[in-house]
Structure 1
């Protein structure tokens, strides 16, 4: 490669093709907000006459204001209005937020409908906006630029962007705009799912931890047939994963397939290659088809909901699955252990599912209908501090958590009821806009999770290239190509796995991808990489 970087940070920092320093002189959130009554003023507040926005301290505004935010609610969550973080923060900030809640299942469709109908909230919270959506809705004027608002009203986020330059570069368009801000994860173990295996079953059956995909096949068969739960029934679930394609990506590294630039991409010798139609991918699908056909993979893997998947982790009747933490099986945590990825048929052994520091891209955005963009930016910025993140993740000191050596820990009585902590915080279920550092991660990064992460570390990619933020014209090209290619790729992959499509049709699958101009898509990613690597 032309350049070798020793940290994920630098690879991510350069991926947009430019390193942005300071704020853009182009359009900004404040010019947009001025049209709606807000403007920037002196050093300590905006100069809106009726309700100045303070740049530090609380309350954020002296007179109460209301905001509407569209948000995703995970199956484990309770209503946002009942969460102590939002109840207490309303009193602190003088800003009341009415959340428009949509469940995880079907959330993307509801989000896109908001923009299509132009029935916009003031902001999108835990919104999971993709790079393509961000550019599209930002360019159309439905999302406002945030770079100047960050500079003036987000001291915590601004400080993190200075400390980790890859954050700014990873969320800034080539035109110099920031339309959405991410969740920020400085803790390595919080940026990837672990591989959890039922150690109690291994011990019961006299099996070793699987080191290869062939080993895994034999272990899963033993889980299926060996009655490891000792109930005399063939009711064990050997292996499961989140709905749809995650099983493919979790196993891809064993077949030499990486996930660079946020897509099905390997980067070798400065060459970007989309592997969607490769023989290595066929090998992976053949392997997964064998597991599925022999009832070693969850038969509901393409139909169960997120809630059902999480519940399966806590039954103790699942052999092998993937998740970031041990939250969902805390009551039976001694039954499981984190393991290393398996080596594939050609010796490949890679855990490719590792996110960059700006992990949850597009977690928060402000729309053009927002009358209080300055106050909204101040509101969200609090959660990029350890203090704000502690409130968001742990609730109230003394009631929900205690401090030990300055680190918050949930009270035992809260943990004694499975899933109870998830009712009080929007972080549970992932994607919330805030900072996850070692100072606020006692629950998701206990010793068991740390040990599981240590098993993965030797097999992580040395460089993690984040998804590029294309300019508007290129983003539209990528969007058009990927809409068709991704849909076809996922549909056919699913059919290959479940046996609804014979591998005799592989040549036809490859030919169709070529007709869909996958080579053109590859070139667009190559161009983005070339700009980054200069």
Structure 2
């Protein structure tokens, strides 16, 4: 038999819940706390409280099994959660290669476990209409650490981007205190130093000039041979460059809608003059022999081998892949150095994409609403993913066992444990052997600036400091579609996006002249571009009118 208990909330927490509900029009049919299953829940749980279930609780978990750290039932993180939080997991595991497919099948069949891990913002939308996932915004009052982070870090506008047509959101996202840029170019720093070139070019035009200098000095090598084109041309590079041209591209292309502040409406990204200017820049690099045209077709290993063997001098990178590049140099016997380049400014300014503070998170099965352990599950998730204590535990492990902590707060990983190259050659790895620093329980490093930076190498901290001068673009206003609109626009979105990606590659490679840009836009218009924009702008106006 289910027992229930009414839980008190602080005035601040209650005010936040009311504010979030009021600004969205949601929350009016939020469940009554008296009706929620509270077996195992703490009556006095709040910010600063270490969660421990009052009786053993088992939580169903759909687990994304990463090949770099395969699931082990005896991981220390699972042992500690059982010993200290009185929680165990009934794990349904799916391999990374099949993750999205398996997740969709389980949710669609109504067989998903209580907690569905590793879900990026936007991926939850497809499951909302079916009623299989929980509107988590209805339960914020039971997650005080999440509420505090939203308030302290000013994330209300970010959360609004998750809201659906009913005013609710269905994802518990990982949260970042600040945006953390990750992608850039890695360049042969020994060559850049030899030629007197800067690792902080002021503009993309200056970067192109630097590539010309490299080409003159090393005519037999590509100044830049890029990667990450598996699902579209130059996905990482266009994504990080685009905000500086006043647009979105690559991984960040999304649904292809861009808010035109002057016009007060959404326009189609791939048809704008800013998108054209971005493509013209990279087409110019290809035309001038500065960018290897195979960058748009080669797989990642080919691009890395070119860098490692000296056939190229720069490549797309992030703070982890640069370690792989150094290993490749060693394996191939190439005497070379490599460093991260500050992403330059562009014609639209010195920018980062909008958002970036909501990262991979969780969905909850709608069936959890009827569980006797609902409140205990919400409290565990709130502690593990949003409290300072839980975030540190998931990232670093246990103080005195996997790391030590100095009086000034500096953490040091145990000598026999490595992660991210902090202790090269150590006999064990924090995620592989212990289960910590694991994307299922760590939500892609979502945390405070201090904790996020605590495990970064000096070169990465230097890169972040260099990038700190960039400003994030602002979100466009929310435009949630209703079920019928979503079904219709999904067909248009796919066709439009495919045509944009195909022609993005053709324009960059010089296979299509920019003299044909107007014809290309006309082709998009013939694929229901205007109808798509009409629905999007109507949805935006409807949401705005709802208050």
Matched residues, number: 489
Shift in CA distance, 290/68, structure 1 to aligned 2, threshold 3 Å: same
1:171·1:181 contact (CA, 8 Å) conserved in 2? Answer: no
Q: Distance in 2 between matches of 1:455 and 1:129?
A: 27
Residues 471, 402 of structure 1: CA spacing in aligned structure 2 closer, same or farther, 3 A cutoff? farther
Corresponding residue for residue 6 of structure 2: none
Corresponding position: 1:351 with 2:358:
no
Give SS of 1:68's match: strand
Distance of aligned partners of 1:434 and 1:442 in 2 relative to their CA distance in 1, 3 Å threshold: closer
The structural deviation recorded for 1:140 is 1.3
- For residues 64 and 417 of structure 1, the distance between their equivalents in structure 2, rounded to whole angstroms, comes to 38
Higher RCO (CA 8 Å, separation ≥ 6 residues):
1
Structure 1 residue 127: Cα displacement: 1.7
**Offset at 1:365?**
0.8
Match of 1:124 in 2: 116
* Secondary structure of 2:266 counterpart: strand
- What does residue range 67-466 of structure 1 map to in structure 2 within 5 Å? 67-71=60-64, 73=66, 76-79=68-71, 81=73, 83-102=75-94, 104=96, 107-130=99-122, 133-152=123-142, 154-163=143-152, 164=154, 165-166=156-157, 168-188=159-179, 190=180, 193-194=183-184, 196-209=186-199, 210-220=201-211, 223=214, 226=217, 234=221, 238-241=225-228, 243=230, 244=232, 245-258=235-248, 263-269=256-262, 270-292=264-286, 294=289, 296-297=291-292, 299=294, 304=299, 319-323=314-318, 328=323, 335-343=338-346, 347-357=347-357, 359-360=358-359, 363-370=361-368, 371=371, 372-382=373-383, 383-404=385-406, 405-411=408-414, 413=416, 414=418, 415-417=422-424, 420-421=429-430, 423=432, 424-427=435-438, 432=443, 435-443=446-454, 448-461=459-472, 463-465=474-476
Aligned partners of 1:20 and 1:315: how far apart in 2? Answer: 55
Aligned-partner Cα distance in 1 for 2:82–2:41:
15
Contact persistence 1:134–1:180 (CA under 8 A): yes
Query: Equivalent of 2:27, from 24, 29, 37?
Result: 24
Q: Measure the CA separation in 2 of the matches of 1:418 and 1:297.
A: 35
Counterpart Cα distance in 2 of 1:286 and 1:271: 25
CA contact (8 A) 1:182 1:433 kept: no
Shift of 1:325: 6.8
Residue aligned with 1:25, SS: coil
Closer, same or farther: CA 78–360 of 1 in aligned 2, 3 Å: same
Q: Structure 1 residue 125: deviation in Å?
A: 0.7
Q: Which runs of 5+ in 2 are unaligned?
A: 1-16, 328-335
How far the C-alpha of 1:168 sits from its partner, in A, is: 4.5
The Cα of 1:437 is off from its aligned counterpart by 0.1
CA contact (8 A) 1:84 1:396 kept: no
Q: Tell me the alpha carbon deviations over residues 223-268 of structure 1, each in whole angstroms, 9 at most, x when there is no partner.
A: 567459xxxx858864445753232222223433257997551533
In 1: Cα distance, 2:74 partner to 2:467 partner: 37
- The answer to whether the 8 A contact 2:145-2:387 is kept is yes
C-alpha distance in 1 between matches for 2:375 and 2:21: 29
Stretch of structure 1 that moved more, 135-144 or 411-420: 411-420
Residue 103 of structure 2 aligns to a residue whose secondary structure is: helix
Report the TM-score, using the length of structure 1 for normalisation: 0.75
CA distance in 2, matches of 1:501, 1:20: 45
- Post-superposition Cα deviations, 1:388-429, rounded to whole Å, max 9, x if no partner, equal 111111122233222132343434552222794453434569
Whether the 8 Å contact between 1:17 and 1:528 is mirrored in structure 2 is: no
Q: Distance in 2 between matches of 1:204 and 1:82?
A: 51
- Unaligned ranges ≥5, structure 1: 1-12, 32-38
Preserved CA contact (<8 Å) 1:392 1:425: yes
Q: Contact between 2:188 and 2:337, CA under 8 Å: does it hold in 1?
A: no
SS in 2 for 1:171: coil
Give the drift of 1:184: 0.5
C-alpha RMSD over aligned residues: 4.4
Whole-angstrom distance in 2 between the partners of 1:440 and 1:315: 37
Contact 2:394 2:438 in 1 (8 A): yes
Deviation by residue 1:35-82 (Cα, 9 ceiling, x = unmatched): xxxx526xxxx1xxxx43335354325134241314263x64443646
- Say whether the 8 Å CA contact 1:28–1:144 is kept in structure 2: no
Change (3 A) 1:252 1:408: same
